[in-house]
Structure 1
Amino acid sequence: MSSPSSSAQAARQALGGRLREIRLDAGLTARALGQLMGRHPAKISRIEHGTTSPSAEDIQAWCVHCNARNQASDLIASLRAVEGMWIEWRRMERTGLRQAQESRRPLYERTRSFRVYSPALVPGIIQTPAYTTAILTAIGRRRSLPDDISEAVAVRMDRQRYLHEGDHRFAVLIEESALRSGIGGIEVMAAQLAHLIVTAALPTVSLGIVPARPDRDAAWTVEGFWIFDDVQVAVELVSGHLTITQPREIEMYAQVYAELAEIAVYGPAARSIITAAIDALGA
């Protein structure tokens, strides 16, 4: 599947450019290389222009016929990096949800500044165990995944130690509508909202609530995203997980975050909205 991100497209084009240089250094035309590899010349052209991703087998054959065997392993590593920018959920979660949760650990360890925007759910880093259980149970059921919910919840809860350890900082924006989503039922939701008030008092957390109002202007609701330092953006879509590393795209998300942060409310005003959401539950 092609990624909807220009980060992945730029990386694919860079890989294609390296393969083209190898072909030219070997003195081969695209047609001649295609014949040697048993591939149509049009595919060679699509690979070089980044419109088609090569397979590992394509790269191996390419390097063999261009007398560049010593470059094959590095090029295949680049291919894996490109493929990792867009991962379908069925691939990421093929062994269950625990492994998918665990795979995020290195990113959290090395990141110092987290900027989070969540339009529909309370972000995982400030979820209660019961709220996380409700969400992961629904995901597991929807995607017909192996039942390792309790293990996945434990991994996500362990991740919350970064709220208290080291010099990590979390700036979190949540849409007011997410406070009224009813995840897990009244008791689960009420406890989660109360936990938000407690979490907002942590010195490592800045919690903003984006209020529901008729004059949002250009700062409309967008997909949820996480910005890790200024290095990477993670976006969770319906069909898969998107990793963005292109500086221009990261800046776009940073700009949207800044616009949303400007209309968000904090401190007592945020607590007032959260408390109103708790009262509306009638718990």
Structure 2
Amino acid sequence: MYVEWRKMERHGLKWAQESVVPLWERTERFRIYSPWLIPGPVQTASYITALLTSIRDRRGLIDDVPAAVKVRVEKQQVVYGNHKFAILLEESVLRYRIGGTDVMAGQLGYLLSVMALPSVSIGIIPQDADRSGLWPVEGFFLYDNALVNVELVSAHLTVVQKHELAMYAKTFGKLAELAVYGAEARELITAAIESLG
């Protein structure tokens, strides 16, 4: 299903955030790949505010950013439930200054702390990884084996065909093989924090 942002956000960002709550609540296993942003489940309120303010301004939406931030922060409670999160980030995500230096420092610090949760696995794909076999692809959320969401410039795409879901799952697995975890991932995040100096 292809839904334009202007249709999905016609009632504001708060409504758009609320619309995915049932999906988040019923999903047991999240697989998230992001080549450009820290993904929603592990964002700080300040980072969310910077992102949603930018979206509001770019798309000319009503100003309900504080209410939308509140909903997104509340949605993050799933991170502390019986859900599992496997999150893969390109190293460049750690370097994009969303919201400025202080916001990014806080966001990266939070990423370090959330990595300690038993429900969360965070892998970082180093910039110097050999990408001969698989280069960066579009960011996506894979919810169990039920559906994939992809955010485009103009629309929100939902993929449900079994063969396409299998392709996304396989791609996630290949990307996961390129990533570093644990101490190596923390080292990359710490280096990104230090570069903010």
TM range (shorter): over 0.9
Larger RCO: Structure 1 or Structure 2 (Cα < 8 Å, ≥ 6 residues apart)? 2
**Contact 2:125-2:180 at 8 Å conserved across structures:** yes
Normalised by the length of structure 1, the TM-score is: 0.69
In structure 2, what is the Cα distance between the partners aligned to 1:140 and 1:206?
31
SS of equivalent to 1:243:
strand
**Contact 2:14-2:71 at 8 Å conserved across structures:** yes
Give the number of equivalent residue pairs.
197
| Correspondence 1:30-179 to 2 at 5 A | 85-165=1-81, 167-179=82-94
Alignment root-mean-square deviation, CA: 0.7
Q: Which protein is richer in helix relative to its size? A: 1
**Contact 2:83-2:119 at 8 Å conserved across structures:** yes
Q: Which protein is richer in strand relative to its size? A: 2
Aligned to 1:240: 155
Q: What is the Cα deviation at residue 214 of structure 1?
A: 5.7
In structure 1, what is the Cα distance between the partners aligned to 2:26 and 2:42?
19
Aligned to 1:182: 97
User: Is there any run of 5+ residues in structure 2 with no aligned partner, and where?
Assistant: none
Poorly superposed stretches of 4+, deviation over 2 Å: none
Q: What is the Cα deviation at residue 109 of structure 1?
A: 1.0
**Contact 2:91-2:188 at 8 Å conserved across structures:** yes
**Contact 2:56-2:63 at 8 Å conserved across structures:** yes
SS of equivalent to 2:150:
strand
SS of equivalent to 1:173:
strand
Normalised by the length of structure 2, the TM-score is: 0.99
**Contact 2:141-2:150 at 8 Å conserved across structures:** yes
> AA paired with 1:234?
N
Q: Is it true that 1:253 corresponds to 2:163 in the alignment?
A: no
Aligned to 2:116: 201
SS of equivalent to 1:270:
helix
Q: Highest CA radius of gyration, 1 or 2?
A: 1
SS of equivalent to 1:161:
helix
SS of equivalent to 2:148:
strand
> AA paired with 1:240?
A
Aligned to 1:24: none
Counting aligned pairs with the same residue, the percent is 55
